[in-house]
Structure 1
Amino acid sequence: MVFWEGYYRLHTRKDEEKKNLVPFSTVVKGVLLQQLVQAIVTLFLPGLYILEEVQVKELKYRIEAIILLELGYCFLNDLTTTTKASGVVEQPSIAKQILQFLIAMFVMDTWQYFVHRYMHQNKFLYRHVHSWHHTLVVPYAIGTLYNHPIEGLLLDTIGGAISFLISGMTARTAVMFFCFTMVKAVDDHCGLRLPGNIFHLFFQNNTAYHDIHHQLQGLKYNYSQPFFSIWDKLLGTYMPFNLVKRPGGGFEARLAKE
């Protein structure tokens, strides 16, 4: 416990217990509820469309990818190819999949920035929907998905589906992308500044960046998630900060002095 508490936490355990407005048990129940709602939605999605047989098969693989994301699995053995009427089509080249990843990342960021920002600006949505997530003033890993079910649908389910469709990913690429997205989101909320963290090397939008957003002074800044800080900087909602060592160990993300 001293290892985690003393060297890598952005907040002390006392801060977590004092500032957070909901107990850990409530967070766990809320996360399970949101995942149940999203799983049910994905199960019934095929019934919303009237499709030809080939389209149904393609949609089946895409729905499986989303369901695997919701359940937290990355089984790739049955998702290595996309089924077509004429047979089996191989996965696209690595270069094409990387391009699809980048497109999906940009689309996901764009969708989540504007929906997330609107949830803060609309008093009704903030009070009744998004405030669930901000009851965790000191975020921790499992609280990543502690959202109102409506927010889960708007940000994650719809945002993920749009990113998936626009990028043109196959089911296997989508599973890898969504798993990557989930790991990144968990890291953003974990409250730990771990040495050698690859996300902190490649992404400015990281644990400390999002921690600023959960603080009272930064509530209307740093909306961008989960990858880049492009929209915050372009639209004037970027809040600079300094990461300083806390007396007694650990780090603290402090707003930069103007």
Structure 2
Amino acid sequence: METFVSDEFLGTFVPILVYWVYSGIYILLGSFENYRLHSKKDEDVKNLVTKKTVLKGVLLQQTIQAAVAILLFTVTSDDSETSMNLQPSYLVLARQFLVAMLVLDTWQYFMHRFMHHNKFLYRHIHSQHHRLIVPYAFGALYNHPLEGLLLDTIGGALSFLVSGMSPRASIFFFSFATIKTVDDHCGLWLPGNLFHVLFRNNTAYHDIHHQLYGNKYNFSQPFFVTWDKILGTHMPYSLEKRIDGGFEARPAKD
């Protein structure tokens, strides 16, 4: 059946739409102090950048991300009707998703770690993301444009190419990766959140990384903690109740 909107168009713009819809949900839930990892006051006082600036930075990154996605889909497109009609099995899709997750995790771990250990790159590029000492949902993609290109956009392109997924499959994979990334920065520990159940790399785990004591730990993102554990940069967390309500993620022993 002919569709009016191409898979390439959806693969480019659906993840961006998902980013803002999912972030919007967390903005609405942000008033629940009893589930926050930091108080609302801490979010307003400790962060070193305004939300207006964060908004502009995220929109810039998403513009670059969309441009690269359009270029990637154009270069790799196959216009044959046969390729459009042949849909991979669920087993093949599962394999592609797993490969894409592993590629994205590997790329982002080593690039992320390098940006922390290289003083020039950290000072002039990666430190921009760490202005959010208290992370929040729509700040997930706030970073220097060069970092956004190297870490997120190129990492996504590599996971797409290596996994061999189709533009249609990429709609679902990158929407899922987007939701996971937003969730990791949301600053809320909500009951029943499946990401907290299924992934050790979650909101509390990444919150540790945004604190001064965790700056050289928990580089892994967005899915697994594998590389952190293999290379000795894993700092597990424990959740403790704050006096003023909510939770606090603190380092815990393995």
TM-score (norm 1): 0.83
Alignment check: 8 A CA contact 1:5 1:13 kept = no
**Residue 227 of structure 2 corresponds to residue 231 of structure 1:** yes
**Residue 132 of structure 2 corresponds to residue 124 of structure 1:** no
User: What is the CA–CA distance in structure 1 between the aligned matches of 2:95 and 2:73, rounded to whole Å?
Assistant: 28
User: What is the CA–CA distance in structure 1 between the aligned matches of 2:224 and 2:168, rounded to whole Å?
Assistant: 24
Q: 2:200 aligns with which of 201, 204, 214?
A: 204
- What secondary structure sits across from 2:125 in the alignment? helix
- In structure 2, relative to structure 1, the CA distance for the partners of 1:112 and 1:87 (3 Å cut) is closer
- In structure 2, relative to structure 1, the CA distance for the partners of 1:180 and 1:3 (3 Å cut) is closer
Alignment check: 8 A CA contact 1:11 1:251 kept = yes
**Residue 202 of structure 2 corresponds to residue 175 of structure 1:** no
Aligned residues: 227
Shift of 1:88: 3.6
User: What is the CA–CA distance in structure 2 between the aligned matches of 1:211 and 1:21, rounded to whole Å?
Assistant: 16
TM-score (norm 2): 0.84
Unaligned runs of 5+ residues in structure 1 are 50-54, 59-82
Aligned-residue Cα RMSD (Å) equals 2.0
- In structure 2, relative to structure 1, the CA distance for the partners of 1:42 and 1:93 (3 Å cut) is closer
Alignment check: 8 A CA contact 2:72 2:157 kept = no
Q: Percent identity?
A: 62
Alignment check: 8 A CA contact 1:164 1:174 kept = yes
Q: Match of 1:94?
A: 90
Q: Match of 1:41?
A: 68
Alignment check: 8 A CA contact 1:9 1:191 kept = yes
2:125 partner amino acid: V
- What secondary structure sits across from 1:145 in the alignment? coil
User: What is the CA–CA distance in structure 2 between the aligned matches of 1:217 and 1:101, rounded to whole Å?
Assistant: 33
1:16 partner amino acid: E
Alignment check: 8 A CA contact 1:112 1:224 kept = yes
Q: Match of 1:166?
A: 162
Shift of 1:45: 5.1
Q: Match of 2:181?
A: 185
Alignment check: 8 A CA contact 2:73 2:167 kept = no
- In structure 2, relative to structure 1, the CA distance for the partners of 1:96 and 1:123 (3 Å cut) is same
- In structure 2, relative to structure 1, the CA distance for the partners of 1:2 and 1:118 (3 Å cut) is closer
- What secondary structure sits across from 2:104 in the alignment? helix
Q: Match of 1:77?
A: none
Q: Deviations over 1:150-186 (max 9, x none)?
A: 1111111110111111111011111100000000000
What are the within-5 Å matches in structure 2 for residues 19-98 of structure 1?
Answer: 19-44=46-71, 57-58=77-78, 83-84=79-80, 86=82, 88-98=84-94
Alignment check: 8 A CA contact 1:11 1:191 kept = yes
Bigger radius of gyration, 1 or 2? 1
Alignment check: 8 A CA contact 1:5 1:12 kept = no
1:14 partner amino acid: K
- What secondary structure sits across from 2:181 in the alignment? helix
Q: Match of 1:244?
A: 240
User: What is the CA–CA distance in structure 1 between the aligned matches of 2:83 and 2:44, rounded to whole Å?
Assistant: 57
Q: 1:103 aligns with which of 91, 96, 99?
A: 99
